[in-house]
Amino acid sequence: MRNIGHFIGGKLVAGKSGRTADVYEPMTGEVQGKVALATKAEVREAVLNARAAQPDWAATNPQRRARVMMKFLELVQRDYDKLADLLAREHGKTVPDAKGDIQRGLEVVEFACGIPHLMKGEYTEGAGPNIDIYSMRQPLGVVAGITPFNFPAMIPMWKFAPAIACGNAFILKPSERDPGVPMKLAELMIEAGLPPGILNVVNGDKEAVDAILDDPDIRAVGFVGSSPIAQYIYERSAATGKRAQCFGGAKNHAIIMPDADMDQTVDALIGAGYGSAGERCMAISVAVPVGKTTADRLMEKLIPRVESLKIGPSTDPSADFGPLVTKAALERVKGYVETGIKEGATLAVDGRGFKMQGYENGFYMGGCLFDNVKPDMRIYKEEIFGPVLSVVRANDYNEALRLPSEHEYGNGVAIFTRDGDAARDFAAKVNVGMVGINVPIPVPIAYYTFGGWKASGFGDLNQHGPDSIRFYTKTKTVTSRWPSGVKDGAEFVIPTMN
């Protein structure tokens, strides 16, 4: 039985609250560890460590900060297999999927290695008579990230890598469901040469979250999770004068045009809809075939593929997906399937009865597929976050375009077509933040920004890419003139460049 505390001031420390949460192994359903839940005082201890360490780190030149990131990349690669195994055993996703989780995080670390260039300001010589103007980017100070269970490596690295590279100190509050990998990443950052106190990991629940939101020394907060919590964190951060970028739920649509390559489309839907047991904010959970013929062809090919999905333990390299993260998550998803049946949708494939031989107490569920789903149904409107795909039949292109555009969420969307005009029109008009054209999961690469619209995102700046540098820095603009021996006299009007 593992006991997981916190990482404060460059070292592992035991929790002091006396409160803990169970960390399960989803494959077996057994408790594999206890994670401490921090008090407000423990959060404050981490912040004080960060505040003390940050000025010297900010004064470290960007090239040296980049070298720490480069060494961290090397160390994560060294421990790749161990980290992936730990991640899979705590989360439930397969080991290959866990490696993808780590890799997408590392790509943002690679981006952050360019911080000497990314932090450069602007300069204009002779902006006025003997006047030069230049700008500089400076770190905010102490910042924080509150990250979800479904990407316990990727999202923490998306948050702390650019923040730390910019010269900030960082407080990470990962999910208490799978805290092992974030703790290991913090240890590797210290091994890479990061000074103690610059990255602190505080495990906890709402008490720790509220302590972060109310702490006067934390200048910015990043969050990924459900939309109600994203809105709560955004509003409470704003009330205490913090910057906030908060990303919430999703209901990602895939539009299937009549001319789409149906085999390619089905492959895409299977991977994007059921990979990681659907526990991805970018999972395709709604397929929208355009026209009855397209819908019938889609279902004809989709049903046998869903029925043949291979569910297995996370350590099985041949498994398509593993268990859900907790029993509560499993029961929640099953409840949505029952709701869909009651609402009148057609359950074409029912995976609720799946049991894994030898792992009967694990949190497993087979793939489910609904047909004839309507926009007023809960299974269409709400995020299920499980291996459930809903097919909503559209009569024409305009109806298909309206569905994601008018949905409450606006994270990602995809269109499958051979028609360049249709794809271009769709990309321009759809009211969603990230668009894929024959790409089912349109997560941008690290030097572009990631973020959804509407109830999927709260805040003006997105994750990674150039927005991350803007979010974790403040811009100072300097107007400079050196005395030339000429006295102009006092001026009582606002300065201009005339």
The vertex-223 CA angle with 365 and 247, nearest 5°, equals 70
The vertex-328 CA angle with 326 and 332, nearest 5°, equals 120
The vertex-122 CA angle with 119 and 128, nearest 5°, equals 160
Q: Is 281 known to be catalytic?
A: yes
Helix axes 62-78, 154-165, angle to 10 degrees: 160
Asked if residue 144 lies in contact with residue 131, where contact means CB atoms within 8 angstroms, the answer is: no
Asked if residue 405 lies in contact with residue 381, where contact means CB atoms within 8 angstroms, the answer is: no
Spatial separation of the C-alpha atoms in residues 76 and 80, rounded to whole Å: 6
Q: What is the DSSP string of 306-324?
A: HHT--B--TT-TT-SB---
Spatial separation of the C-alpha atoms in residues 125 and 272, rounded to whole Å: 51
Residues shown for the chain: 498
State the number of CA atoms in the 13 A half-sphere of 203 facing the CB: 33
Asked if residue 124 lies in contact with residue 132, where contact means CB atoms within 8 angstroms, the answer is: yes
Spatial separation of the C-alpha atoms in residues 199 and 164, rounded to whole Å: 8
Single out the residue of 66, 250, 89 nearest to residue 167, CA to CA: 66
Backbone phi and psi for residue 121, each to the nearest 5 degrees, phi listed first: -95, -155
What single letter denotes the amino acid at residue 5? G
The vertex-491 CA angle with 489 and 496, nearest 5°, equals 120
Say how far residue 231 (Cα) sits from the centre of its chain: 15
The active-site residue, picked from 113, 166, 281, 368, is 281
Q: What is the end-to-end Cα distance of the chain in Å, rounded?
A: 73
Which two tokens mark 446? 């690290």
Spatial separation of the C-alpha atoms in residues 300 and 294, rounded to whole Å: 10
Buried b (16+ CB within 10 A) or exposed e, 214-238: ebeebbbbbbbbbbebbebbbebbe
Give residues with Cβ within 8 angstroms of 427, minimum separation 6: 415, 435, 437
Which two tokens mark 257? 């045009």
Spatial separation of the C-alpha atoms in residues 119 and 168, rounded to whole Å: 13
Asked if residue 180 lies in contact with residue 153, where contact means CB atoms within 8 angstroms, the answer is: no
| Enzyme catalytic residues | 281
